[in-house]
Structure 1
């Protein structure tokens, strides 16, 4: 079965988001909702949803053009179009009666072999299919997306006893490869995996905060980053998803959970939260939540809710003693005697013991549970990985001390870890008490698995080289935020030495890592330190080394494939520009952002953007258009918010590949590297026709116009003056004579060195290092 056309019924936040993400794959999708009473346009709800999608930030569409693949309609006039759809997703309100009536209508119209799925998060599949035809039951399953569907990777999938195996396989494969989801098979139980555990964690954390007298900031400081949970913690998370959503989820769970379930015992309602919901304080979508930004008097003051009085007060940045003392030691956090340590101990005990007690009820293995919590709630580690951090024997004692039963799985572990590495393979403890290998789907290659099974070919403080098989080497960045420095350049040079001609044991190089971000660019802290002691020759050598290295990689006798995900900024973007091919994860955010810290791209970024714009067949011809295009992109520090947008900005070539599922990125990059290695020849060196001083004058006028409008600061004008000189070829350039890239690289170096000595640039760098935000000076 191939999914060529889809439909989503329900144009609310989730339904429209699912439709947008299906459109991101290039598949046409029909978006239907009810006819709003009295509406002049009978499809107004669906059309309005598409309009909101195009305005939303973060954007549900990976490219605005994808909106053209969504056809809005209504359930009265357009339901017949379902006969053309291969996959129909129901995303209406959580009402079993309404869903049942809709399914009967769908079943009468859909074609044979089509699949119907529900995005329900709380209603068991058995209840949804009750009373439906046998044909419908064979083609029905649950596909539970997490909000927002484009960005949250978890897709919980539930099949019924009658569900066709090929229908399940087709939808799972589409969600994996095309939608980029981490597909987790769940059993047909209330809340499935992530919400069953996640909602219990939220309830536990809220209860304990009230009982122990913690502020919302203190609670979030403890259950956030120290536990590997996003910095929103628990109260910030409720603000994000909507405080008013919690009672609805609780009602559904309480209606279906078995007697004696821990969530039933933990569930409580708090008058202060009930008042917040009644008064419209539902979080970020409302007037505020546990946190709000007070803009009275033109100021922006972050405030937090006082859980005792229900009033707002200026938010604090607490550093609980338990967190400060424990560092990254989770057990030390839970053992700390102060009230924040007791808070950590109670939340960990209740949440993790609950999770451990649910296997195999909710899933066949602990691996599925950990995967669901990592991908659905953005935890760095799942419940069983967290128990391993604490130690299974220690955790058993924690449960007893907190008056909780020790889960059977924990008893069965008998002090053994839930995960271990044996003969280079990651293994997990099964419900049978023996270890089994963690198996990856076909087409998945993870660098973390390679690292468990082998030692690096070579490494230093900022990078490592790995053998990923079949003669392909992988260069991994290992510095903080994968910032680039001299050690990174040394790793590149070592890779070139080892691979050599590409005709021996090594054939190609892939540049990839599994960090949150591919690379945020050059190490600004190091640059600031060197500049402060006026070691200008060291900075110039750093710029020259970067240019030499990137240029050597571009013209190496073997192919270089970059495989980025997350941010690839500044020098990280320049890596992509110099690679033979980029196999980018769909969620790659790339750009040349150097002007934000008062310099220009110095490792060949200007040169390569000129080449991209000159080769752009869609653009106008002549010496000035490529210069103007590169100048606009670099001077405005444009950042692509997806790999698809990166092609528009020419950071990626039209021939570069996009991988939707990050787990498949390295395998796709390796396959492309091997394909390129067969008969590979390096690119020829280009020559440019540049406009010279006349072109610079035109760019100067452009910048002056921006300055007069207040859109360019005084130092922006200085930076743009240097950028214009580089891109137009310098004062001695004759538009009739070709310019080689060596001259442009020399101009890049000169401009970079002039700017890095400028006091305003130093102010920008220092401000960025201190605040993480650009300085507009």
Structure 2
């Protein structure tokens, strides 16, 4: 069966978010809720859509996606369900109310349409009690995580009567079109991620209170050192809402087996109860464990004292265990201070609990690890964390904490849960043997390529590696800190061009891709500042010129270059995309030329390429000034597209560039496009432009001056904008003569070198490196 149209019943935060994400995938969707008591009877669903258009972070990848949502109400518009292939129920977690809804929609839905519940607490067998045989065959659970656009996990649960083709169709559309990491779970309380996640949260809160840690200390230990987001536990509770936790506990206690360890972990902490009663429920309330106190005109970050419940100024955690251990998880646990004791208790209890639940909640450890990575943003799942500690060492940790050693850990008998055999990743099964981890069709992961190659690239240096991804395609992977672009990355491009040559030998094409959180945050500012401080002006100019040469060489190479970004692609990272023949972007790619924030202009051809794109835009007004003005606005305001769809609006991506919803499919899509382009490839021709010259620059300067008089432009903004205007208008260009790319690149270099010598720019660079925020000087 195919799923081309969908419906969501329940226009609350979760239901509306699911509807928005259907629209992001290009799937028309009906959104229904109860009738409003006054006025427009469909006002609740309509209001939810309007609210999402104003929400930040945005549920929609592009505002136009809202047009794919048809709103209505459950009394007047049930007939709209007759045309949809999949109905998602996302209403209150009450079995009786859900059962009544199912009986109402069953007669009107079309035969063979799928119905799913977004529940995370009610067992499927309870939901289908008393429903028709037809309904039971078409019913399953699809548990989205909030917010649906950004959280990748989608837990699917089928019942004993659920049709196999219904499960397969939903899993396929969630994977390929919604971009979800689909994990099949068993019909058990909390499924995978929440079953483990709520136990982890409760355990960590108990341990912090018992061991006398501050919230900052607990989050410092239980965050990044464990591969968990920097929010840690208390920051995460602020994010989801403290008032949600008692409801989750009540639901879990109502359905969990009598001997489940979670029952012993649930404790009411007076400080937390007091916070909830007084409205301190987290970010959605007046504050939570952390808050920003804006009293007396100042903004002071404050934290709750877990002993008294009173707020105090936040303090950076200073624990010897964290500083001494670094990324060594076992060393962290072995440290004698309270941070080490906290790590031991939390990891022992949480990981032992997770290990004890296989095969109860899922058939394999792979599903459990995937669930925690995608649902809670852990860098590694529970079994991967046990491998970091060592299975034998972890067994001893359990004993020392008074815990029974899980059967699966006993089965491991000192062996790792994951191993690489013949270049393939394998996982330990409950039978005690290893099985190969199988990827879905159409998934190509660079991590798998590296394993198959024995971690031996075709070529590498300190900041980049070249990998053979098959069929004559090379992949350039960045490995520098935050994938900042430096001389080694430029050298890797040069090496790739030499290896590929004319594209008619062993190698045919180049893909630029990595699996880090961010594609590239731009140029390495630390190196630039070092060079500035010792006056290495000639080396800086050579760096700029070398970058221009390299990017232009890629642009006009005799073989196709395909960039496959995800996450942030800023500054020099954005310029890589601008010089590629094709960009196959993950839907969650955030693109922008942000150099003005550090007092500079795009110096590696970014100005030139953006001018070219706006000049070629068939929808733009004719004449020399419109493309200049648009490029000036985009670059001077450091506009950043908040999705790949928005990047098309700003022309960081072209209409011909591709968007991949599922990040795991990105490299395969990019490789396929590279091979398609390689057949009969010819490089593009160089451009020239008619530019307005000094008159155009004067107009832009006047425009900036107007904003300066309104207090919207700082003194150094004016300096940077003037330099940018000089480039985009062609310097002293004669409007009757075309300006070539080489002329524009020369103007870029000149402007960059002038700006980099100014005190205002140096101050901005230093401030960015120190604080991570732009300086408004």
C-alpha distance in 2, partners of 1:668/1:447? 13
C-alpha distance in 1, partners of 2:421/2:339? 37
User: Is structure 2 residue 135 aligned with structure 1 residue 136?
Assistant: yes
Listed as ranges, the matches of 1:242-257 within 5 Å are: 242-257=241-256
Q: Secondary structure at the match of 2:18?
A: helix
Q: Shift in Å at residue 162 of structure 1?
A: 0.9
Match of 2:435 in 1: 436
Q: What do residues 75-129 of structure 1 show as CA deviations (whole Å, max 9, x unaligned)?
A: 1111111111111000001100000000111111100011000000111111111
Match of 1:575 in 2: 576
C-alpha distance in 2, partners of 1:706/1:166? 60
C-alpha distance in 1, partners of 2:593/2:235? 32
C-alpha distance in 2, partners of 1:412/1:514? 32
Match of 1:227 in 2: 226
Listed as ranges, the matches of 1:387-402 within 5 Å are: 387-402=386-401
C-alpha distance in 1, partners of 2:675/2:25? 26
Match of 1:43 in 2: 42
Match of 2:160 in 1: 161
Match of 2:730 in 1: 729
C-alpha distance in 2, partners of 1:490/1:307? 52
Q: Secondary structure at the match of 1:55?
A: coil
Q: What do residues 296-335 of structure 1 show as CA deviations (whole Å, max 9, x unaligned)?
A: 1111111111111111111111121211121111111111
Match of 2:535 in 1: 534
Q: What do residues 491-532 of structure 1 show as CA deviations (whole Å, max 9, x unaligned)?
A: 000000000000111000000000110001110000000010
Match of 1:750 in 2: 750
C-alpha distance in 1, partners of 2:266/2:497? 60
Aligned residues: 775
C-alpha distance in 2, partners of 1:10/1:752? 53
Q: Secondary structure at the match of 1:109?
A: coil
Match of 1:103 in 2: 102
C-alpha distance in 1, partners of 2:159/2:740? 65
Match of 2:293 in 1: 294
Match of 1:310 in 2: 309
Q: Shift in Å at residue 4 of structure 1?
A: 1.6
C-alpha distance in 1, partners of 2:549/2:213? 55
User: Is structure 2 residue 53 aligned with structure 1 residue 54?
Assistant: yes
C-alpha distance in 2, partners of 1:698/1:76? 59
Match of 1:348 in 2: 347
Q: Shift in Å at residue 734 of structure 1?
A: 1.0
Q: What do residues 435-464 of structure 1 show as CA deviations (whole Å, max 9, x unaligned)?
A: 111110000000000011112000000101
Q: Shift in Å at residue 340 of structure 1?
A: 1.7
C-alpha distance in 2, partners of 1:272/1:115? 45
C-alpha distance in 2, partners of 1:43/1:207? 45
Match of 1:216 in 2: 215
Q: Secondary structure at the match of 1:509?
A: strand
User: Is structure 2 residue 609 aligned with structure 1 residue 611?
Assistant: no
Q: What do residues 260-310 of structure 1 show as CA deviations (whole Å, max 9, x unaligned)?
A: 100011111112211211211110001111111101111111111111111
C-alpha distance in 1, partners of 2:20/2:321? 44
C-alpha distance in 2, partners of 1:242/1:71? 30
Listed as ranges, the matches of 1:337-486 within 5 Å are: 337-454=336-453, 455-486=456-487
| TM-score in terms of structure 1 length | 0.99
Q: Shift in Å at residue 229 of structure 1?
A: 0.4
C-alpha distance in 2, partners of 1:113/1:381? 39
C-alpha distance in 2, partners of 1:11/1:433? 46
Match of 1:561 in 2: 562
Match of 2:524 in 1: 523
Structure 2 unmatched runs, 5+: none
C-alpha distance in 2, partners of 1:160/1:153? 23
Match of 1:547 in 2: 548
Moved beyond 6 Å, runs of 4+: none
C-alpha distance in 1, partners of 2:34/2:87? 16
C-alpha distance in 2, partners of 1:675/1:723? 37
C-alpha distance in 2, partners of 1:742/1:509? 25
| TM-score in terms of structure 2 length | 0.99
Listed as ranges, the matches of 1:272-283 within 5 Å are: 272-283=271-282
C-alpha distance in 1, partners of 2:326/2:730? 52
Q: Shift in Å at residue 674 of structure 1?
A: 0.2
Q: Shift in Å at residue 342 of structure 1?
A: 1.0
Q: Which moved more, 1:462-471 or 1:210-219?
A: 210-219
Q: Shift in Å at residue 761 of structure 1?
A: 0.3
C-alpha distance in 1, partners of 2:716/2:309? 46
Match of 1:487 in 2: 488
Q: What do residues 647-687 of structure 1 show as CA deviations (whole Å, max 9, x unaligned)?
A: 00000000000000000000000000000000000001111
C-alpha distance in 2, partners of 1:300/1:41? 42
Structure 1 unmatched runs, 5+: none
Q: Secondary structure at the match of 2:53?
A: helix
C-alpha distance in 2, partners of 1:706/1:634? 16
Match of 1:667 in 2: 668
